[in-house]
Structure 1
Amino acid sequence: MTDPVRTAYEAYATATSGLNHLGSPMPTWDQLPDPQRAAWTAAIAAAIYAADVNHDHAHADRIAENRWLRAEMARAARLIEAGHSDQALTLLRREGRPGEEEPS
């Protein structure tokens, strides 16, 4: 299995032509001192955690949107069954989203 921290370090080295922020040559991963390896590990772990959290939030937002759409479709169906197709069309044409107030 590929080490994501080493991969990130090597990608950084490639992107900077093997130079650090001072313009000096970067050591290879194997030559990198333990404190710097630990710092890279912490940075990559934080980035992976942030990506996972953002993904989870986006997924939760899509689930909420789908639930909202299903609820709106059910409301429209009930309005149509009750003979209020004009109100159903108004409901389906509005651009509200979950958590937004209905126009008055």
Structure 2
Amino acid sequence: MTSPRRSYNNPGITDAGIAANRRRATRIGQRQAEQARHALAVLTAATTDRHPQWVDVLRHRADNPTASLRELAESMTPPMTKHAYAAQLRRALRAAQRTETTS
């Protein structure tokens, strides 16, 4: 749900905020994509602690580094909520980190 737009003294301030949020989200997405590629390598090399859903979530993030979490979640098969996608991504990254430290 989006909030109604407020009117400010500077009409461009809302657009500047939206653009800044988009740049930040893109930068974070690119960093997550790098982490997802690394986690994919770790989890695919491991024979345990690998759930197919985690591999799908990681691959989807790695393939779409500039997409928002909402866009990624909606384009999954089956579609999921942004929060469910973020939770799956966190679990997959944590599992890869655990797997890497125990290897």
TM-score scaled to structure 1, two decimals?
Answer: 0.41
Where relative contact order (Cα < 8 A, 6+ residues apart) is larger, the structure is 2
TM-score scaled to structure 2, two decimals?
Answer: 0.41
| Structure whose alpha-carbon radius of gyration is higher | 1
